[in-house]
Chain A
Amino acid sequence: MKLSIEKNLLVNALQVITPLTDKSSSKPILSNFLLEAKLKEGGGVVKLSATDYEISISGEFPAKVEEPGVACISARKVLEVCREFSSEEVRISSDEQLWVTLEGGPSRLRLPSVEVGLYPHMDPPELPNRFTMNSRELRQCIELTTFAAMTNETRKNLMGVCLRLSNGNSTQWVATDGHRLAQVTREAKDVQGESPPEIIVPRKAMMEMLRVLEHHDEAVEVSFDERHLLMTAGKTLLMTRLIEGKFPNVEQVIPKDSDRTVLVNRERMINALKIVSFMSQDKIKPVKMTLEPDLLRLESERAEFGDVLDELPVEYAGENMKIGFNARYLLDVFSVIQQSPEVKMKLKGSLNPCLIEIPNDSGFLSVVMPLRIEW
Chain B
Amino acid sequence: MFSEISDPRIRKIVHIDMDAFFASVEIRDNPALEGLPVVVGGSPNSRGVVAAASYEARRFGIHSAMACSRAYRLCPQAVFIPPSFEKYRGVSGEIRAIFHRYTDLVEPLSLDEAYLDVTENRVGNPSATRIAEAIKGDILRETKLTASAGVAPNKFLAKIASDERKPDGLFVIRPQDVAAFVKILPLGKVPGIGKATLGAFEALGMTTCGQLESLPLAELTHRFGKRGAYFHRIARGIDDRAVEPHRERKSVSIEDTFAEDHDDPQWLLERLAELAAGLAGRMVSAGVKGRTLTVKLRTAQFRTITRSVTLAAHTDQEGTIRAQAEALFRNSGLMGEKLRLLGLGLSQLDNAPPEPGLESQLAFPWVG
Contacts and interface: CB of A to CB of B under 8 A. Distances in A.
Interface of A: 25-27, 53, 152-155, 176, 178-179, 181, 248-250, 252-253, 281, 284, 286, 304, 324, 326, 351, 353, 369-374
Given A26-B36, A353-B364, A371-B360, 4 more contacts: A25-B80, A181-B364, A253-B366, A371-B359
A179 B90 contact: no
Contacts, number: 73
B362 A370 contact: yes
B362 A27 contact: no
B29 A284 contact: no
- Please provide the 6 A-B residue pairs with the shortest distance between their CB atoms, ordered closest to farther: A154-B90, A152-B86, A178-B367, A153-B87, A369-B362, A374-B357
12 contacts: A152-B90, A153-B86, A153-B90, A178-B366, A179-B363, A249-B366, A252-B366, A286-B359, A326-B361, A370-B362, A372-B360, A374-B359
A253 B79 contact: no
Contacts of A179: 361-364, 367
Nearest to B357: A374
Interface in B58-105: 79-81, 84, 86-87, 89-90
B362 A152 contact: no
A248 B368 CA distance: 12
A243 to B, nearest CB: 13
Contact of B362 (A181, A286, A371): A371
B203 interface: no
Interface centre among B29, B90, B359, B360 (most CB of A within 10 A): B359
B1 interface: no
A26 B79 contact: yes
Contacts of A250: 364
A237 to B, nearest CB: 23
A281 B313 contact: yes
Contacts of B358: 374
A284 B354 CA distance: 13
Contacts of B364: 176, 178-179, 181, 248, 250, 253, 353, 369
Given A153-B87, A153-B90, A369 B29 contact: no
A153 B366 contact: no
Interface in B14-67: 29-30, 32-33, 36
Contact of A372 (B80, B86, B89, B359): B359
A372 B362 contact: yes
Given A25-B79, A25-B80, A373 B359 contact: yes
B145 to A, nearest CB: 14
Contacts of B367: 178-179
B84 A153 contact: yes
Nearest to B38: A26
B165 to A, nearest CB: 29
Contact of A178 (B32, B84, B357, B363): B363
Contacts of B79: 25-26
B191 interface: no
Nearest to A253: B364
B312 interface: yes
A284 B359 CA distance: 9
Nearest to B87: A153
B33 to A, nearest CB: 5
Contacts of B84: 152-153
B353 interface: no
B124 interface: no
Interface string B340-368: 00000000000000001111111111110
A155 B86 CA distance: 11
Contacts of A281: 313
A374 B360 CA distance: 10
A372 B360 CA distance: 5
A353 B32 CA distance: 42
Given A26-B79, A248-B366, A284 B361 contact: yes
Nearest to B33: A26
Contact of A27 (B32, B81, B89): B32
Contacts of B90: 152-155
A298 to B, nearest CB: 15
A153 B29 contact: yes
B30 A26 contact: yes
Contacts of B32: 26-27, 53
Nearest to B78: A25
Interface string B268-295: 0000000000000000000000000000
A339 to B, nearest CB: 26
A155 B87 CA distance: 9
A371 B354 CA distance: 14
A162 to B, nearest CB: 14
B361 A369 contact: yes
Contacts of A369: 361-364
Contacts of B87: 152-154
Contacts of A248: 364, 366
Contacts of A284: 359, 361
Contact of A304 (B33, B36, B312, B361): B312
Contacts of A304: 312
Nearest to B91: A154
A26 B87 CA distance: 19
A153 B32 CA distance: 18
Contacts of A253: 364-366
A179 B363 CA distance: 5
A327 to B, nearest CB: 11
A318 B209 CA distance: 75
A51 to B, nearest CB: 12
A27 B79 CA distance: 9
Contacts of B36: 26
B363 A324 contact: no
Interface centre among B32, B86, B357, B361 (most CB of A within 10 A): B361
Nearest to B355: A374
A53 B30 CA distance: 10
Nearest to A176: B364
A118 to B, nearest CB: 14
Interface in B225-274: none
Contacts of B356: 374
A239 to B, nearest CB: 18
B312 to A, nearest CB: 7
Nearest to A25: B79
A25 B81 contact: yes
A332 B46 CA distance: 33
Contacts of B80: 25
